[in-house]
Chains A and B, each alone.
Chain A
């Protein structure tokens, strides 16, 4: 059985560059266009900060989008386990309404179809082009380590060597 992987989003690392949107739309549609991207980056004001938040399919293990599709078009992919959409879409938009995250959007008319992340068949392009690792694609059984990293590093630094003096430190060479 193939290793189950998952897409993990770290909002704090997102710089708002939108390369994920460009890579996604380019890979799937041959056009660079945020409107055709399956991942969307939103900008929000939060007090004195401006933050950018990538929103993408979370690849639910029990996907509502698959459950509601009246045409049976939304299926679970064998390799990645994610919902993928076959060419039988009637545009009822039930999948879009069922998604709890708001990660399904629609291509503009006349080619109305759901824009739904399919993990690019196992090699997600958004991850490839994300320079800061705000988006990573990791084995499910290791993903928790990413979230624990901050705490782990904190403990290590408190027990490790004290930082050296930034000023002139002598380094003697024995003749």
Chain B
């Protein structure tokens, strides 16, 4: 009897519309855990350099983990992995891509009996996958092609005759292969990053529908009941749990304004004049009607909203801070109903809100500076013009005009096309917008954006330890109390390393990072969850080592694709333009010293950022060391320890 894991991978060959089930060895599962870790290994093994992300040789992988579908708090998550059509490294090669999402589809995949679903090739016409426990069908989806994500979900559940079916689908944006396209799970949760929706669209895969009536056997049920009860109590000892459970991520807007980190007018400023109109309180007062949760989560950070009337009437689940900031302060917009309308559009059309908000903001700065004019678009892209924003979102999803088509390529490619210096105020790392938190203000976050394996991203590290750990703890764990000082440099690299490993493990168990980051839930707790479910005996250090393995694996994938140190950088605005206003005025990022320390801590060559053999071998990735060595891309021990002390 298997505990936690199902041990089964569903392989779907789209060109032939056939499927098979592979057994996953215990060794493989214990080495990578599952979810993101296993997905990354699968991607590494199957996708070679030179692959076109929107071509037939890319894969699309959905991974769940051993504790999905159990009592473990936040055990809802799914990772979707592929070579990214959005992110870029080296001389313009695509880079590692994945996206993590909550909701209810992940546990359903476990209840149906799978740890991973692997899609190969491209179908010749639209299809969707139907998993009904053991029974698998690849069904025609021509009648669904063109439908928005809500209609798709509703139609599938009706035609298959079961209201409890869970779906994951693309909308029109995935179908047009907009590089900003996302995959919507259960109508309301988005796998947004790195253009996974475009890959799904390129495979003519409209949706996955799952129904699972099984369950997840637990090795030590009494222990799990006890450990979870304690964990929930511990979570709520942290007042951030109170903020999270009442207001969700929109609670971040107020502190970001207060601390001077609020992305405003495409990061030209960090203070937004009418910020009070788009806070969580404003949402609670005007539009939220209920509190919602993802599967298995005691933090229930989601909400239901209703805008009952007016030009921006809409309803649904959400929004997240990425949305209130992204379509709010970043675009100079203080109309909350319009923000919610943009959110509804993105969810139904299947567009990632973070990357879409960022491309709108960049386009608006272009318009401000006269780099985009009425010659390029009939839309008046003035800051805060919500009508133009809503219209442009639709044109991007449908590629229905020149500007929409251009922006559907993502801000980086659009900037290459427009030129005229527009690249200089593009906020991106490896062609993806990092996040709403200005990278100049919290140093560990700036570093985290620069080194994230899937391009600009705050969740790869989510280095909240920069504010959770005490100076004494930082001294012990990261070699310097400066690691937790806002203006510090020493210790930040090691802090980000530790954080990335902690998050990689959560992503592989498929537990929500918002749960494990609360109360500074240490790796030992995560190990406890995993052990109670699987009956194994991992320690906290084991967890961090597996996290380190996953980070190095993704790094090696990128190195194989052509990544070097020069890709681990930040936008010019963060490196050269000091913050012009607010409490953080004058701050700017000095990345190189922190990057040096990070590489050193990681065992990567300072000059190139390539992992060294010893590092890879200690993580049982010796086969990978051989491969990158043959390409001349193995890190060299001697260079790494030369002129620095």
Contacts and interface: CB of A to CB of B under 8 A. Distances in A.
A36 B308 CA distance: 39
Interface stretch (B93-101, B221-229, B440-448): B221-229
B225 A26 contact: yes
Contact of A32 (B163, B215, B299): B215
Nearest to B104: A18
- Range class of the A interface residue count: 20 to 34
A25 B299 CA distance: 21
B625 to A, nearest CB: 39
Nearest to A19: B296
Contacts of A19: 71, 73, 296-298
Contacts of A131: 232, 245, 298-300
A33 B225 CA distance: 14
Contacts of B289: 49
A132 B218 contact: no
Interface in A5-34: 12, 15-19, 22-23, 25-27, 29-34
Contacts, number: 93
Contacts of B297: 17, 19
A34 B163 CA distance: 15
A33 B232 contact: no
A128 interface: yes
Interface of B: 69-71, 73, 104, 111, 163, 213-218, 221, 224-225, 228-229, 232, 245, 289-300, 302, 304, 306, 308, 315, 317
A87 interface: no
Contacts of B229: 128-129
Interface string A34-68: 11100000010000111100000000000000000
Given A17-B300, A49-B290, A35 B232 contact: no
Contacts of A35: 111, 213-215
25 contacts: A16-B292, A17-B293, A17-B296, A17-B297, A17-B300, A18-B296, A19-B73, A19-B297, A22-B69, A22-B70, A22-B71, A30-B218, A31-B215, A32-B216, A33-B111, A33-B215, A33-B216, A48-B306, A49-B290, A108-B213, A129-B71, A129-B229, A131-B232, A131-B245, A132-B291
Contacts of B232: 129, 131
Given A49-B306, A128-B229, A131-B232, 6 more contacts: A15-B291, A17-B297, A30-B217, A48-B306, A129-B71, A131-B299
Interface in A102-134: 108, 125, 128-129, 131-132
Contacts of A34: 111, 215
A18 B225 CA distance: 15
Contacts of B69: 22, 32-33
A128 B224 CA distance: 14
A17 B221 contact: no
A12 B297 CA distance: 17
